[in-house]
Amino acid sequence: MTISPSIQYNFSLRHHNTFGVDAHAYAYAEVTSVEVLSRIRSDATLSVLPRLVLGGGSNIVLTQDFPGLVMHMGMKGIAIVAENDEFTFVRAAAGENWHAFVLWTLDHALGGLENLSLIPGSVGAAPIQNIGAYGVEAKDYIHALRAYDFDSGDIITLDSADCRFGYRDSIFKHDLQGRIIVLEVTFALPKKWQANVDYADVVRNLDECGVTAPSARDISEAVIAIRTAKLPDPCVIGNAGSFFKNPIVSAQQRNALRDSFPGLVSYLQSESEYKLAAGWLIDQCGWKGRTLGAAGVYEKQALVLVNLGAATGSDIVHLANAIQQDVRSRFGVQLEPEPVYI
């Protein structure tokens, strides 16, 4: 007889999503080992339920109660597992807090992830979203990962190429969506570290602090200061960080927009493409600091949508739709949300 994992029913997810939306899960399980996943898969009742995997809950908008099983990743552990002349390989379990993991690498004199400091969420979510900030993406340092395949019950290993990383994108949002659960991620951190200070905000903060030859720790502290000044603490004001992706447009479209809007903020991606600053587009449409019902746009950063206290997921989506419509009407650019609507 198969022993079922500990399941809680009609479970409130309010403290498991950074927007603080008070939706409920039909069933909830804390995943602390592969054995828990195997037991869920072999349970005749649990295995047929819709599944939602949660880490830090920083990349979702719960628009309704979830009618299936929510699996919260609680697997822990960080270790240096190998090294060669070029890299130190660090493995972190999916349930580890992302920012705490970044600080761990810095405490062990390992650079590379410092630009990704203070991003909310868990290690397991990092490859799925290919998180990024200040000129660095998770894919730049992910070496490989191990995952549980719900179709077969096997544990599979994928290297960086297998993950098909793109801008805030990966194979886990496409071919493997709903099929696999990330268990642990191995990062290759360079022994010959070089500072990445391509963003003006980072350079400005370092200059203000009198830092001329920044260490990885210096850059982390600069990023933390910038993010703290711009972004609200989810424990105080519900939010999911940057809500919209920075849109990628052709050079032709970017140049036409710049002719009409000389202040356009954009970043060269290739000879034929530019990335536009979504926050600037939203701000130009007058949304910064505005509210729509119980949801609003953060007064210090137009890219951040906030729960003013009693917003539902539908309230947040309604606000996002209104912003998308205004940006599309004025600039002819379609904004795409970063969080997943559930």
Mean pLDDT over 191-218 rounds to 91
Whether 168 is catalytic is: yes
Q: Could you give the CA distance from residue 110 to residue 261 in angstroms, rounded to a whole number?
A: 42
| Number of independent structural domains in the chain | 3
- Residue 227: φ, ψ to 5°: -65, -35
Residue 3's pLDDT is 45
Instruction: Mention every residue, 6+ apart, whose C-beta is less than 8 A from residue 304.
Output: 230, 231, 232, 239, 241, 242, 243, 297, 298
Q: Could you give the CA distance from residue 326 to residue 174 in angstroms, rounded to a whole number?
A: 29
Q: What is the CA radius of gyration of the chain?
A: 21
Domain of residue 55, residue span: 8-73
Are 304 and 291 found together in one domain?
A: yes
Are 84 and 181 found together in one domain?
A: yes
- Mean of the per-residue pLDDT values of the chain: 94
91, 78 contact by CB (below 8 A):
yes
Q: Could you give the CA distance from residue 171 to residue 177 in angstroms, rounded to a whole number?
A: 7
Are 259 and 330 found together in one domain?
A: yes
Are 67 and 46 found together in one domain?
A: yes
Residue 1's pLDDT is 35
Are 28 and 12 found together in one domain?
A: yes
For residue range 248-302, list pLDDT tens digits in order: 999 999 999 999 999 999 999 888 999 999 999 999 999 999 999 999 999 999 9
Whether 338 is catalytic is: yes
Q: Is the predicted pLDDT of residue 2 greater than 50, yes or no? A: no
Residue 190's pLDDT is 97
CATH number of the structural domain spanning residue 129 = 3.30.465.10
For residue range 30-86, list pLDDT tens digits in order: 999 999 999 999 999 999 999 999 988 988 999 999 999 999 999 999 999 999 999
pTM: 0.86
The residue written with tokens 């010959």 in the block is 192
- Would you give the distance in Å from CA 181 to the centre of its chain? 16
Q: Assess if residue 294 is contained within a domain.
A: yes
Whether 242 is catalytic is: yes
Q: Could you give the CA distance from residue 267 to residue 273 in angstroms, rounded to a whole number?
A: 9
Are 96 and 37 found together in one domain?
A: no
Mean pLDDT over 201-216 rounds to 92
Instruction: Mention every residue, 6+ apart, whose C-beta is less than 8 A from residue 255.
Output: none
Structure tokens at 157: 């290993």
For residue range 76-115, list pLDDT tens digits in order: 999 999 999 999 999 999 999 999 999 999 999 999 999 9
The single residue of 39, 51, 168, 254 carrying the catalytic annotation is 168
- Would you give the distance in Å from CA 341 to the centre of its chain? 14
Q: Is the predicted pLDDT of residue 218 greater than 80, yes or no? A: yes
Q: Dihedral sign for Cα 277, 282, 283, 289, please.
A: negative
Q: Could you give the CA distance from residue 52 to residue 293 in angstroms, rounded to a whole number?
A: 28
Q: Assess if residue 120 is contained within a domain.
A: yes
Are 30 and 94 found together in one domain?
A: no
Residue 167 Cα distances to 175, 238, 245, angstroms: 16, 25, 9
Which stretches of the chain are DSSP H helices?
34-42, 98-107, 125-129, 200-208, 216-230, 251-260, 278-284, 313-331
Among 149, 59, 160, 142, smallest CA distance to 101 is for 142
The single residue of 146, 242, 254, 266 carrying the catalytic annotation is 242
Percentage of residues in the chain having pLDDT higher than 70 = 99
Q: Is the predicted pLDDT of residue 4 greater than 60, yes or no? A: no
For residue range 153-174, list pLDDT tens digits in order: 999 999 999 999 998 889 999 9
Are 159 and 86 found together in one domain?
A: yes
CATH number of the structural domain spanning residue 26 = 3.30.43.10
Residue 302 burial class via C-beta count within 10 angstroms: exposed 0-12, middle 13-18, buried 19 and up: buried
Are 279 and 312 found together in one domain?
A: yes
**Side chain identity at 155, as an amino acid letter?**
I
Q: Is the predicted pLDDT of residue 127 greater than 50, yes or no? A: yes
> In the structure, what pLDDT confidence band is assigned to residue 200 with cuts at 50, 70 and 90?
confident
